[in-house]
Structure 1
Amino acid sequence: MKNPGVAAVLSFFFAGLGQIYNGQIGKGIGFIIAYFISVFLIFVLIGFITTPILWIWGMVDAYKTAEKLNQEQSRSLG
């Protein structure tokens, strides 16, 4: 079972860590790469919009994915 709160907190501290915690390694690495690109885009101002969006999206995605994984696991056990 994955703890959705832990997944969200990990993504809060570093984008992509919550996805990696959930076992979605490729998705987590994608979030990390996208976040770093977004941070560099701050120098051309668009990053001020994309960086917080990616950060929040990463936390929400990690939380919802952990919940979904738990529901699937509960169905397979029950």
Structure 2
Amino acid sequence: MHGEEYVKNPLTAAVLSFLVPGVGQWYNGKFLRGLFWLLVTPGLWLGTGGTLGWVCHIVSAVTAYSYANRLYVR
């Protein structure tokens, strides 16, 4: 495996971020983005009675997946 780079699995990133928004971004090495989702999502859950909380969960998972997918070498 000399010369190969360790890459992140997009599905793992998406599942992690769906379970806890921001964790998929941390898995991808994007700590500030992860912190953003971790702080914003609960605020939107509480502030909108859950409606935008679900939206944030989905968007967080999709962005984590997309970023990992760009890094993923097949």
TM-score normalized by the length of structure 1: 0.79
CA shift, 1:23, in A, is 0.4
Structure 1 residue 40, shift from structure 2 partner: 1.9
How many angstroms apart in 2 are the aligned matches of 1:26 and 1:68?
Answer: 19
Q: Is the 8 A contact 2:45 2:51 kept in 1?
A: no
In 2, the alpha carbon distance for the partners of 1:22 and 1:69 equals 9
**Structure 2: gaps (5+ residues):** 1-6
Q: What's 1:17 paired with?
A: 23
Identity %: 34
Structure 1 residue 48: deviation in Å? Answer: 2.8
CA drift of 1:70 comes to 2.4
Q: Compute the RMSD of aligned alpha carbons.
A: 1.5
For residues 59 and 27 of structure 2, the distance between their equivalents in structure 1, rounded to whole angstroms, comes to: 16
2:18 maps to amino acid: F
The aligned length equals 68
4+ aligned runs moved over 4 Å, structure 1: none
**Superposed CA offset, 1:41-62 (max 9, x none):** 1xxxx24321111000011111
TM-score, normalising length: structure 2: 0.83
- What does 1:1-78 align with in structure 2 at a 5 Å threshold? 1-41=7-47, 46-70=48-72
Amino acid at match of 2:28: N
